[in-house]
Structure 1
Amino acid sequence: MFLEQVLNDPICQPVAKHYKRWCILMEQNIGFWLRDSVKHTKDHCARVLLLALVIAHQIGLSDEEMEGLSMAAIFHDSRRLDDWLDKGHGKRAAGYYQDYCREHGMPFDKQTYYIMYYHDLDDTIGLAEIAKAFTVGERCTLLYQIFKDADALDRFRLAPDALDVNMLRTEEAHTLVDFAKYLLQKSSDGLSYEIYIF
């Protein structure tokens, strides 16, 4: 699941340990309903995870916020029924995340739940629901925007022109467009992936 040469890139080094930890959890414990998918795979979720962590690090988020984004990344497409719009897969993934936390004694994060729940809907809906659920001082809106950008940056797997950069929400995501292409190319090279246990 990990391309060592990508994780050794200076942009990835500060988040490599976080990335490895959450990829291992996803690979070993998270079940995906759409097993024959070619678009919404664990590899896609791993790239979203890395992109979200890089953006979060660049913004200076806390370890706790990075953990919330990591959980959103590894669960977000786990309950898809098809490879198309599949509105509602965010809600199903959020429910799976909540159940998983309860069943495995892991702390449940309401922000992570909301990020996942609304990631497959238009921002006007997601942001409105987040604004209702969280106080002004909470950073769920920023976390939501980072996650949506990380997911969007991996749209190059769909087609070379699948990403509309004007739709990116954070400055940091705009600087990562070429890196997202590079990341996809590296994960598609057919090079061997290695799992590192630490």
Structure 2
Amino acid sequence: MFLADTLNDLVYKPIKKPYEIWHKFMEQNVEFWLPESEWHTKTHCARVLFLALLIGHQKGLSAKEIDALGMAAVFHDSRRLDDGIDKGHGRRAAEYYKDYCRGHDLPYDARTYYITYYHDQDDSLGLSEIAKSSSLSERAILLYQIFKDADALDRFRLGPDALNVNLLRTEEAHRLVNFAKYLLQKSRKTYS
């Protein structure tokens, strides 16, 4: 695990356990349709997981909210058909998540479903659908924004100008831009 030494740093210790749990879960249980993908790999999902948990911790989320973000991170790109825009991969991944929970007697979280489903859509649609759902609280909007920021922060893997920082939704994400670059460099050194 390329983040093992980073997780031992006192600053990141609060997210170490949930990161290790969800990373192990992903490695052992989540099947990716594009295992040879150049951009949407388990390593990408691991960085998104780390960033989502970090932002969530900084926002003071509950353990259940942290778990909702963790589960979204490990499933979100699992059902891609290609490395392009592939609108709809979020819906496919959300259905995979729901079916996985049913088939493995795991607790299902509607927030994770919605975050995963709409992560590849424009915010106007994602936020509107979350707001319309009677089963979700306003906190689901915050989780969606955190997740979208964590996923966006890993856009540097696509090129040095791939992230438009003006589109980040949370102050925490704005403060993590350079750290996201560091995580990417660290993972490339580990896996090269």
CA shift for structure 1 position 72: 0.2
Q: Does 1:29 align with 2:35?
A: no
- Structure 2 unmatched runs, 5+: none
Give the corresponding residue for 2:142.
142
Question: Partner residue of 1:158?
Answer: 158
Alignment of 1:1-198 (within 5 A): 1-134=1-134, 137-190=137-190
Q: Answer whether contact 1:2 1:20 (CA < 8 A) is retained.
A: no
For residues 182 and 26 of structure 1, the distance between their equivalents in structure 2, rounded to whole angstroms, comes to 22
From the superposition, tell whether residues 17 and 2 of structure 1 become closer, same or farther in structure 2 (CA, over 3 Å). farther
Q: Percent identity?
A: 66
* Contact 1:156-1:162 within 8 A present in 2 as well: yes
Q: Which amino acid aligns with 2:29?
A: N
1:124: how far off? 0.5
Q: CA RMSD in A?
A: 1.4
What is the deviation of 1:36?
A: 1.4
Q: Distance in 1 between matches of 2:27 and 2:166?
A: 33
Asked whether the equivalents of residues 168 and 174 of structure 1 are also in contact (C-alpha less than 8 Å), the reply is: yes
Instruction: Report the AA paired with residue 187 of structure 1.
Output: S
* CA-to-aligned-CA distance 1:38-96 (integer Å, 9 cap, x gap): 10000000000000000000000000000000000000000000001000000000000
What code does the residue aligned with 1:107 have?
A: P
**Given that residues 110 and 136 in structure 2 are in contact (C-alpha distance below 8 angstroms), is that contact kept between their aligned partners in structure 1?**
no
Q: 1:178/1:33 Cα in 2 relative to 1: closer, same or farther (>3 Å)?
A: same
1:136, 1:18 → 2: CA distance? 23
- TM-score with structure 1 length normalisation? 0.93
Report the TM-score, using the length of structure 2 for normalisation: 0.96
Report the count of equivalent residues. Answer: 192
Q: Distance in 1 between matches of 2:14 and 2:179?
A: 15
Give the letter for the 2:84 counterpart: W
Cα offset for 1:181?
0.6
Q: Structure 2 counterpart of 1:112, which letter?
A: T
